[in-house]
Structure 1
Amino acid sequence: MRLSSATFLFATCAALALTGCDDDEPIVTPDAGTSTDAGTDAGSDAGTGTDAGADAGTTASTATVTTSRPAEGETDVYPLEMYLDASGQTPVIAFRKVLTLTFSEPMDPSMAQVTLHDRTDATVPARVLTGTWSEDARTLTVTVPRTEESTRPLEVSTHHALALDALRDATGLALSAATVGLGGDTALDFTTGQRDPELEHACTHTLVNTPEAVTAGRTPFDFPPDTHTGHARYDVTLRPGEAGFGGYTGFISDPENAEHVTLYLNQEVPTKVTNDTAGTDVASVLAPVRFICAGITHTLTFTSEPGDQIHLFQFGPVDSEHIQFVLERE
């Protein structure tokens, strides 16, 4: 087994009140998962044994994989997901990785075992996992828990293969080696990337901070509310307009230092940043992020100049009346 990579430090908030940030790592609940069904006996059941071959006969299933998360052959997949585990007396942040596959036709819901292989390090034992089928028996959801040796479910920078040999369609046939959507075999292949400590930090606030509710100004002169507190999570009510919802909020730069500012948004929101003090537009970048937690899909980044300068965020138009974001400034 490889040694786990260095654990990132989280600037997380005390309990759920979040009066400030420290360097403690997020609490990981034991119930968030250690893979206990990956033993030798389970592994023998998930392969392509003689019973499976007899059941499938010489005819393979015509089922195809129509969609999957991650996609077949995808790279830079985030190796974990953060979520709030409320199963205990005190909610805690925990790690897992959820994989999903949707098939073109109903499958046998009694057959849900899959095997996760590490293709980068052959010495790592395979992990046998049991998924859950949707009501129509077409979508399989597999939750990869953390291992006993690590708080994370998957290694970084690693080629993983999720073998689907044990699955059967509704007529009892095994998947074909040429199954569409699996790259020429019966496994979902993907490669994990590196972790992003800033993104994980923002996810901590997204999961546990109570959002501060503000209502956007209709115009720049409509006393836009301030949204410039670092580590804060904002819930912004936008104003209706002809093209959708939009509005303005304010931001004041640091008195002495230029800062790199990031808004971690819960949806794609066209946003214009202006320096109202200087009367100039500020260059900004809106970009999607790798999935790591519910509540963050995009980031907006820009650099603010020092001097207590007043900036404006112009959001929209969007279809949603509400947007949320975590603001980080450094």
Structure 2
Amino acid sequence: MRLPPVIALLATCTLSLAACDSAPPSPPPPPPPAGTDAGTEPGDTQAPRTSVASSRPAEGSQGLYPVELYYDGTASRPGVYLRKALTVTFTGPMEPSLAQVTLSNRTDTSIEPRSLTGQWSSDHRTLTVTLPAPEEGGPPLEASSTYALDLTRLKDAAGNPLDGAPVLGDGKLDFTTGARESLLEHACTHALVNTAEALNAAPTPFAFPPTTDEGHKRYRLTLPGGEGSYQGYSEFISAPDADETVTLFLSREVPLTVRNDTEGVDVPVELLATEPACAGITHRARFGATAGDMIYQLHYGPTDHATFEFILERQTK
């Protein structure tokens, strides 16, 4: 029996749908070849980019000491010179062939920006930029000035530009320097150049303590004791006709108490950390000395180090 045209059409559609339902699903797309990672090709800005993890100085920091004094024995004129090192550590390895940065003084814009080349660590994650003193003279960084270290020419190991967020934002490390201190830098020259006089501190103030009162001198003092606790004494004689401020620039933090033995009174001592102006000086101890050839007993410790050094400076009040 011949089916009416409409019924025949419906039957044909039903058979077609059944055939579609029974067809096998399409196979999934093949995985990417081994060793590839989608989204990490050079220049792929959609992938997470490397950014700054930390820096020294920190972004936006204030009061950075502008210089570091160091001794260069290989120079044509061996002596004490100035430099300053800045370091930046990144969240991932960087492209080692790119190490050029630019330093700009934002306080004095008449100073031309300096193009500098840093040195990468072995893992290519930390860049150290050492600023020498400019050839035309002056310090590596001016005191009390705001600077910007432009890192935007750097790229990560995949060739992506540096992501300034969240630490830098604009890709520039901003910081402000503090003031310089002449007495500290003067003491640094003695710490770097002078040969230390080695002395043994006395165990008590009555056991003939060594005299440590020569200005501009570098002393290396060994304290008696043991089992991680050391302490001892040295002696200081005040000037005959002028009150003074006495400063010991120390190679490490050492507790110090001072007694005017002539008058039988204790003398206040100020112990502070110093700015990182040079190797060999980390702290200073300061006290006042009264004129009159008075005897002062300096008591060091207790401390966990037997030996330390100091530069002694005397200033008339």
TM over 0.5: same fold? yes
1:98 aligns with 2:85: yes
Q: Which runs of 4+ in 1 moved over 6 A?
A: none
* TM-aligned CA distance change 1:219 to 1:106, over 3 Å: farther
1:309 aligns with 2:294: yes
1:57 paired residue number: 45
Letter in 2 for 1:261: V
- RMSD across aligned C-alpha pairs, in angstroms? 1.9
Task: State the shift of 1:144 in Å.
Answer: 0.8
* TM-aligned CA distance change 1:149 to 1:91, over 3 Å: closer
1:163 aligns with 2:187: no
Contact 1:179 1:186 in 2 (8 A): no
What secondary structure is seen at the aligned counterpart in 2 of 1:206? Answer: helix
1:211 paired residue number: 196
Unaligned runs of 5+ in 2: 1-41
Unaligned runs of 5+ in 1: 1-53
2:57 to 70, 80, 84: 70
* TM-aligned CA distance change 1:59 to 1:159, over 3 Å: farther
2:111 paired residue number: 124
Distance in 2 between residues matched to 1:75 and 1:88, nearest whole Å: 33
* TM-aligned CA distance change 1:274 to 1:185, over 3 Å: farther
1:272 aligns with 2:234: no
2:125 paired residue number: 138
What secondary structure is seen at the aligned counterpart in 2 of 1:55? Answer: coil
Task: State the shift of 1:156 in Å.
Answer: 1.9
Contact 1:246 1:317 in 2 (8 A): yes
Task: State the shift of 1:89 in Å.
Answer: 5.4
* TM-aligned CA distance change 1:196 to 1:72, over 3 Å: same
Letter in 2 for 1:179: P
2:172 paired residue number: 187
Distance in 2 between residues matched to 1:79 and 1:311, nearest whole Å: 36
2:217 paired residue number: 232
Contact 2:82 2:139 in 1 (8 A): yes
Distance in 2 between residues matched to 1:153 and 1:314, nearest whole Å: 39
1:292 to 273, 277, 286: 277
Q: TM-score, normalised by structure 2?
A: 0.80
2:306 to 318, 321, 327: 321
Distance in 2 between residues matched to 1:204 and 1:77, nearest whole Å: 20
What secondary structure is seen at the aligned counterpart in 2 of 1:204? Answer: helix
Contact 1:114 1:163 in 2 (8 A): yes
Contact 2:210 2:234 in 1 (8 A): yes
Q: TM-score, normalised by structure 1?
A: 0.77
What secondary structure is seen at the aligned counterpart in 2 of 1:105? Answer: coil
Contact 1:284 1:302 in 2 (8 A): yes
1:135-177 deviations in Å (ceiling 9; x for gaps): 2222211111222332311222210011111222333333222
Task: State the shift of 1:58 in Å.
Answer: 4.4
Task: State the shift of 1:90 in Å.
Answer: 4.7
